[in-house]
Amino acid sequence: MRALPRLARWPMLLAGVAGSWLVVLWRAGDVTTADGAAWLIRAVVALSAVTVVFAFDDPSVDMTRALAGGRGALMRIRFGIAGVAALMALAPAG
């Protein structure tokens, strides 16, 4: 568990969350129709989907494959990280 913070791609997760916030701040004033709002939400969802993929990128999979209980715990933590990243990325579009 001590090595877990080093196993995630934090810069990519933070860049994706910041990017989705920037897209909303950049285009929110231009949205005047429901169609425009739908496209803005689609753009933010697409960006957050790409961002969440980096939560599951595991550079240590070869070393931790032999750990029976460790892999399950790591995946649960990664799902938690992915959920938080998705919520943070989609928050401005909601």
**Which residues touch 92 (CB under 8 Å, ≥6 apart)?**
20, 21, 24, 25, 44
pLDDT for 94: 66
pLDDT for 7: 66
Tell me the torsion sign for CA atoms 12, 13, 16, 22.
negative
pLDDT for 59: 67
10-residue mean pLDDT profile of the chain (94 residues): values are: 68 86 86 85 87 76 67 78 85 76
